[in-house]
Amino acid sequence: MTPGYFPGNILFLVIFLAANAFFFYSVYKLYRIMLLGKPEDRFGQYGERIKSVLAFVFGQKRVLREPSGIGHFLIFWGFMVITIGSIETFGVGIYHNFSYEPIIGKFLYNILYLVQDIFCAAVLVALAVALYRRFVIKPLRLESDDPKATKLDALIIIGLIAVLIILLFGSRATDAQLYAKGEGKYFPPLAIISQILALAFSGASVNTLKFWNTFFWWAHTIVILAFLVYIPYSKHLHLLAAIPNVFFRRLGPVGELSKMDLEDEEAESFGIAKIEDFTWKQLLDLYACTECGRCAENCPATLTEKPLNPKYVIHHMKEHLKKKGELLLAGGGNGSGEGDTVNQGQEEGAQETKSELDRALIGDVVPKETLWSCTTCGNCMENCPVFIEHVHKFVDMRRYLVLTESDFPAEVATVFRNWETNSNPWGIGFAQRGDWAKDLPVKTLAEDSNVEYLLYVGCAGSFDDRGQKVARAVVKLLNEAGVSFAILGQEEKCCGETARRIGNEYLFQMMAADLVETINGYGVKKIIVTCPHGYNCLKNEYPQFGGEWKVYHHTEVLDKLVKEGMLTPTKYVNRNIVFHDSCYLGRYNSVYEQPRNVIKAIPGTVLSEMDRHRHKSFCCGAGGGRMWMEETLGKKKINDERTEQALRCNPDIIGVACPFCTTMFEDGLKAKDLEESIKVYDIAELLAMSVEFKK
Amino acid sequence: MNIAVLIKQVPDTETVIKIADDGKSIKTDDIKWIMNPYDEYAVEAALRLKEKTRGKVTIISTGPQRVVESIRTALAMGADEGVLVDDPALEGSDVFGVAKALAAVVKELNPDVILCGHRAVDYDEGQRGAAVAEMLGLPHIPFAVAIDVDDGATKVKVDRPVEGGKMSLEASLPVLITLGGAHAIWNPRYASLPGIMKAKKKPLATKTLSDLGIDSSEVGPDARKIRIISMEMPPEREPGKIINGDLDTEGKAKELVRVLKEEVKIL
């Protein structure tokens, strides 16, 4: 059965075509399962999409954010280079004398083989490191709650690739030795590693060499085809799904949740209750997951041992989708009647059928506590190399629980009512909303709408003692800089951001419609927001409701005013300030520099950074409505964990830019009896300390 | 089993109440109206009875059209029908006038159980339930914190607190029960969105006094048996005094003792 001779080549072709047929059938099935999902428009902007693929697939930009990514980079490019070689190998299977050499010339052929040799060796090293990480170091992100599916899977894949490369080297070493002995086709002398390995066969007879050469070729080829067949059934499916997933990624703001259609008065269900309720892109996300665990490694819930690990959630949804999807395609769903065709002789199989179709997405596949544990901080999405959107799925499922089932943590009911009656989470009378500014030189739009900016103060700035201090500092600074602005005062309403993230889209849409009407009624063009949550919501989500404004966070405005010399920090603040990035300011809106610029502009300050800062910043624990829920699960409170991270910088001051973060840090410091020695200040308060006010 | 729930719309508990110029009523602009919280417990209790007996829940209230919003809230929670007595002649009635209208609606419906809050958080009179029961000649059980009905739906068992202890009562139907307890005891359900959608289409009848056969001279300000003479806001609290922060601990203590002796005169 020498490769490339009859009948070996016929046998090869049969196996090759069978493996490919099986592979494409499997992929087609997965494709059809994906199309069970609902429509979603992810088309257009193709230039941008191609750029994404170049940067994040071929450039491995997000993979390379951490050292272990180098291993992946080598395996990825090794795979590309080896695949070029595999095509040559398959060619040999059909015709024994097939070679790239006559096509590309001796020189390039030598280079190609050298590069392939080097990558093969590099991949072997990377695989050894991968094994070492999985079975010796065992980092958090590679942990699994389904070891049979993931650990075994990883072992099979790493094993297959390793065997594949060892066999390739065997094949090449014998090729080289045969050529040296005047047999067979040209073998490039520059393939150093193959040439060195060939020395091991120098004593072998031509017949022995031919035997081994044939053995290595067949074994190598069969392993490649086995790998091909295995891909769609393993987490290595990401090989196929990652590229389209990066291509179809969200190009608009990641912090924008989808607008639900709530007009349908006959609808019995709102939000995502079943796996097939997700959109095709959300399902493609599941296929694309390689279970690298970068999400888990950065998730505040996972790291404080809450019942949420984003990687596990995606894994279990993927397994559920594949099983349920196959059954749905076979006609097993929704009383179509076709489900009755299940063979009665296969009772066991029939029972399995029943159970996967009956497993509830929320409750069985994804526990409710898991959904409520999410702070929507977006760290999972920010660090996912293939752009999976975890948070949007969590909120979609929360929407089902809240809107359809009225099933949410008991304490949230009060907060919903507070929003409904008084448009703020504390439930303080709405008529008192403007009271904080009564003694300040600040106008309302009702008094004078001919101003450049609306200062949207938000609930914390209006009602919370601590938030009011920040709002006052902002007003003082804006007045000092001569900025033309006004507030809404009693007319201001809550933006509804938190209600939306808890899943109460109905309440949110009512609040949004209300606020848009008020703001547009004054012809407002530019808005300054003092809360990153309101900022993200007004900037990225209100366009869904006709709110088309230029929206700024106060740190952006203050940075600009300092740069332009409208505000000059002169008084020394000789303090070590550690700055904490708010999720909705940093990760969701890339406002990283502006608050830091303000701190640096204040004379005497030392700016410290925590290990987890900027895009890896660790949530304070209050996002996604967690501010209003009891934190009873897990080993530690998220704010305590973050406070400890800040304390490692030995700060005098923790600098923040969000009222939620302020509260969470102050609580964290109080829990450690440190509230006297370490203070939490908003960027506006810090700047106000340093500016000599003249007005 | 037919269940009727009497609800009242009251100012939100966080509203800053201002007395009107006449000194006898409150200013109603800037008021956010909500369903009286105790009546909300009654709606919740009614829905639980409905779930057990597969009965029907009718919400009854009086007042202007703004009250429709509160009735719809109850319908969204799961009640079946609503009746609003909206008649200008009712305005300015005391509790007896209102109870007359409510009793007339209840009489037409002939329910097995009538539920309402034991008091409303606006005027805190606590007479509505008792008055309606009296007018209809029904037994009245106050301050319920738990209500159960037997399998044949012939009698109710009600728990009510007494001085921190508990008393269990039983009565044959029909009966009027007023609800006590707190939010944490009843946890009134939050309406689901399909519930809200359905509520928009549930029957809600508006009736006038003449529909109910009540002569308008029996109600309204002139028929009041109790008249409000005047209202007074609680006195403003004086600001607290902060002992001079520049003093050391001993100095602060001395100053505190001095203030308590000389200014507050309680030592």
Same domain for B80 and B118?
A: yes
- CATH number of residue B160's parent domain: 3.40.50.620
Which of helix, strand or coil describes residue A229?
helix
Residues of A in contact with B187 (CB under 8 A): 410, 413
Same domain for A534 and A505?
A: yes
Residue A429 in contact with partner chain B when CB distance is under 8 A: yes
Which among A261, A416, A417 is the top mutation candidate for probing chain B, defined by the most B β-carbons within 10 Å of its own β-carbon? Answer: A417
Residues 241-270 of A with CB under 8 A from B: 262, 265-270
Quick one: tokens of A672? 């450690």
Residues of B in contact with A262 (CB under 8 A): 193
Cβ-Cβ contacts under 8 Å for A168 (sequence gap 6 or more): A82, A85, A89, A120, A216, A220
- CATH number of residue A482's parent domain: 3.40.50
Same domain for B83 and B106?
A: yes
Same domain for B66 and B196?
A: yes
Same domain for B218 and B249?
A: no
Which of these three, A199, A233, A267, is where a domain ends? A233
> Which residue shows structure tokens 């049979």?
A148
The secondary structure of B112-150 as a DSSP string is SEEEEESS-TTT----HHHHHHHHHT--EEEEESEEEE-
> What is the C-alpha to C-alpha distance for residues A161 and A156, in angstroms, rounded to an integer?
9
Same domain for B248 and B217?
A: no
pLDDT at A16: 97
> What is the C-alpha to C-alpha distance for residues A114 and A187, in angstroms, rounded to an integer?
11
Enumerate residue ranges in chain A where pLDDT < 70: 332-354
Domain contains A113: yes
User: Which chain B residue lies closest to A401 (C-alpha atoms)?
Assistant: B192
> Which residue shows structure tokens 């959107």?
A389
Same domain for A501 and A635?
A: no
Residue A189 in contact with partner chain B when CB distance is under 8 A: no
User: Which chain B residue lies closest to A408 (C-alpha atoms)?
Assistant: B190
Residues of A in contact with B14 (CB under 8 A): 421-422, 427-429
Which of helix, strand or coil describes residue A456?
strand
Dmax (CA) of chain B: 77
Q: Sign (positive/negative) of CA torsion A7, A9, A15, A17?
A: negative
- H or E element: which one contains A328? helix A310-329
Estimate to the nearest angstrom the gap between the alpha carbon of B75 and the chain centroid: 17
- Contact status, residue A122 vs residue A70, Cβ threshold 8 Å: no
> What is the C-alpha to C-alpha distance for residues A494 and A457, in angstroms, rounded to an integer?
9
> What is the C-alpha to C-alpha distance for residues A616 and A82, in angstroms, rounded to an integer?
35
- H or E element: which one contains B11? strand B9-11
Same domain for A477 and A603?
A: no
Domain contains A11: no
* Closest Cβ opposite residue B193 in set A262, A422, A428: A262
pLDDT at A332: 67
Q: What is the DSSP letter of A657?
A: S
**Beta-strand (E) ranges in A604-678?**
606-608, 653-656
Quick one: tokens of A140? 């958090």
User: Which chain B residue lies closest to A268 (C-alpha atoms)?
Assistant: B194
Domain contains B228: no
Which of helix, strand or coil describes residue A360?
coil
* A526-529 and A453-456 beta bridge pairing: parallel
Which of helix, strand or coil describes residue A1?
coil
Cβ-Cβ contacts under 8 Å for A655 (sequence gap 6 or more): A577, A578, A579, A580, A595, A599, A681, A682, A683, A686
Q: Give me the interface pTM, i.e. the ipTM.
A: 0.86
Quick one: tokens of A401? 């629980």
Record the pTM: 0.91
**How many helices (H) does chain A have, and how many strands (E)?**
27, 8
Cis peptide bond prior to A7, omega within 30° of 0: yes
pLDDT at A352: 54
Q: Name the minimum distance, in Å, from the CA of A403 to any CA of chain B.
A: 5
| Number of domains composing chain A | 3
Residue B245 in contact with partner chain A when CB distance is under 8 A: no
The secondary structure of A119-184 as a DSSP string is HHHHHHHHHHHHHHIIIII--GGG--S-HHHHHHHHHHHHHHHHHHHHHHHHHHHHHHHHHHTT-S
Domain contains A280: no
Could A428 and B200 be called an inter-chain contact, meaning their C-beta atoms sit closer than 8 Å? no
Domain contains A240: no
Could A270 and B12 be called an inter-chain contact, meaning their C-beta atoms sit closer than 8 Å? no
Which phi and psi angles does A468 have, rounded to 5°? -60, -35
pLDDT at A341: 40
| Number of domains composing chain B | 2
- Contact status, residue B95 vs residue B127, Cβ threshold 8 Å: yes
Domain contains A406: no
Same domain for B129 and B260?
A: no
* Closest Cβ opposite residue A268 in set B187, B190, B194: B194
- Say how many C-beta atoms besides its own lie within 10 A of residue A642's C-beta: 26
Q: How far is CA A57 from CA A49, A89, A116, A295, in A?
A: 11, 26, 20, 18
Quick one: tokens of A595? 């608050």
Could B193 and A270 be called an inter-chain contact, meaning their C-beta atoms sit closer than 8 Å? yes
Which of these three, A553, A571, A605, is where a domain ends? A553
pLDDT at B266: 82
Estimate to the nearest angstrom the gap between the alpha carbon of A656 and the chain centroid: 24
> What is the C-alpha to C-alpha distance for residues A386 and A53, in angstroms, rounded to an integer?
10
Q: What is the DSSP letter of A99?
A: -
Same domain for B254 and B129?
A: no
pLDDT one digit per residue (tens) for chain B, 267 residues: 999 999 999 999 988 889 999 998 899 888 899 999 999 999 999 999 999 999 999 999 999 999 999 999 999 999 999 999 999 999 999 999 999 999 999 999 999 999 999 999 999 999 999 999 999 999 999 999 999 999 888 999 999 999 989 999 999 999 999 999 999 899 999 999 999 999 999 999 999 999 999 999 999 999 999 899 999 998 888 888 888 767 788 888 888 898 889 888 887
Domain contains A197: yes
* Closest Cβ opposite residue A429 in set B14, B183, B189: B14
Same domain for A676 and A532?
A: no
CA atoms within 13 A on the CB side of A649: 24
Same domain for B171 and B265?
A: no
Could B30 and A267 be called an inter-chain contact, meaning their C-beta atoms sit closer than 8 Å? no
Same domain for A535 and A641?
A: no
DSSP3 helix / strand / coil % (chain B, rounded to 5): 35, 25, 40
For chain A, the straight-line distance linking the first and the last C-alpha, in angstroms and rounded, comes to 94
* Closest Cβ opposite residue B191 in set A265, A267, A406: A406
Which of these three, A519, A553, A587, is where a domain ends? A553
User: Which chain A residue lies closest to B201 (C-alpha atoms)?
Assistant: A265
Same domain for A579 and A549?
A: no
Residues 186-205 of B with CB under 8 A from A: 187, 189-197, 200-201
Comparing C-alpha atoms, which of A334, A410, A319, A403 is closest to residue A366? Answer: A319
**How many helices (H) does chain B have, and how many strands (E)?**
7, 12
Same domain for B266 and B175?
A: no
Domain contains A442: yes
- Report angle CA A508, A514, A520 to the nearest 5 degrees: 125
Q: Name the minimum distance, in Å, from the CA of A359 to any CA of chain B.
A: 23
Comparing C-alpha atoms, which of A39, A20, A27 is closest to residue A322? Answer: A27
Same domain for B17 and B133?
A: yes
Q: How far is CA A394 from CA A257, A291, A369, A387, A459, in A?
A: 11, 18, 11, 15, 25
Q: Name the minimum distance, in Å, from the CA of A417 to any CA of chain B.
A: 9
Domain containing A103: what range? 66-233
> Which residue shows structure tokens 């299940």?
A342
Same domain for B31 and B146?
A: yes
Same domain for A546 and A573?
A: no
Same domain for B177 and B246?
A: no
Same domain for A686 and A539?
A: no
Domain contains A604: yes
Q: Where are the alpha helices (DSSP H) in B139-265?
A: 183-186, 193-199, 249-258
> Which residue shows structure tokens 């900022």?
A535
> What is the C-alpha to C-alpha distance for residues A579 and A646, in angstroms, rounded to an integer?
8
> What is the C-alpha to C-alpha distance for residues A109 and A101, in angstroms, rounded to an integer?
6
Domain containing B257: what range? 237-267
> What is the C-alpha to C-alpha distance for residues A310 and A380, in angstroms, rounded to an integer?
7
Estimate to the nearest angstrom the gap between the alpha carbon of A662 and the chain centroid: 26
Could A422 and B183 be called an inter-chain contact, meaning their C-beta atoms sit closer than 8 Å? no
Which phi and psi angles does B176 have, rounded to 5°? -110, 130
Which among A506, A508, A509, A676 is the top mutation candidate for probing chain B, defined by the most B β-carbons within 10 Å of its own β-carbon? Answer: A506
Same domain for A543 and A569?
A: no
* B140-144 and B146-149 beta bridge pairing: unpaired
Cβ-Cβ contacts under 8 Å for A579 (sequence gap 6 or more): A595, A596, A599, A607, A608, A609, A613, A655, A656
